[in-house]
Amino acid sequence: MLAALESVFEIIAEPNRRAILSLLVSSQRSVGEIECQLRMSQPTVSKHLRVLREAGFVESTVDAQRRLYRLKPEPLREVEAWLAPFRRLWSAHVDALERYLDRMDTSPPKKRKKKKR
């Protein structure tokens, strides 16, 4: 579980890790809080947190025996950056190429912002 896992996309491919990240949006949490809210075993939470920490998704501070984890933005911005070129697919403005491709579309109509077919 704590192996290579180089790419940020592989990190967020795991549903429990996404759940942890989403939980941390509202505020930082201790391992026990995450364990309780997401109904995962404590070692599982710790292992996922380790993966997330080593990938830069979260950081922790020590508070007595507890460790408080909170989000770090950088890796998710990588995802955002990769996603950027695809936004033209659903942006309101439809350029020439997309209109061309839409004309070739043989599948049943779907909700599109702009014209097609």
Partner DNA sequence: GCGGAATATGCCTGTCAAGGTATATACTAC
Partner DNA sequence: GTAGTATATACCTTGACAGGCATATTCCGC
Interaction site with a copy of itself (CB under 8 A): 7, 9-10, 12-13, 15, 18, 21-22, 25-30, 33, 53, 59-64, 67-68, 70-74, 76-77, 79-80, 82-83, 85-90, 97, 99, 101-107, 109-117
What is the C-alpha to C-alpha distance for residues 59 and 34, in angstroms, rounded to an integer?
Answer: 14
The answer to whether the beta carbons of residues 55 and 5 sit under 8 Å apart is yes
Q: Are strands 66-71 and 58-63 parallel, antiparallel or unpaired?
A: antiparallel
Q: Please tell me the distance from the alpha carbon of residue 82 to that of residue 85, in angstroms, as a whole number.
A: 7
Chain residues 23-62 in contact with DNA, contact rule CB under 7 A: 30-32, 35, 40-51, 60, 62
Query: 10, 4, 3, 1: which is closest to 78 by C-alpha?
Result: 10
- Residue 55 interacts, among DNA, a copy of itself, none and using kind-specific CB cut-offs from 5 to 8 Å, with none
Asked if 64 interacts with DNA (CB under 7 A), we say yes
Question: Minimum distance between the CB of residue 115 and a copy of itself, rounded to whole angstroms?
Answer: 6
Q: What is the smallest separation between the CB atom of 109 and a copy of itself, expressed in angstroms?
A: 4
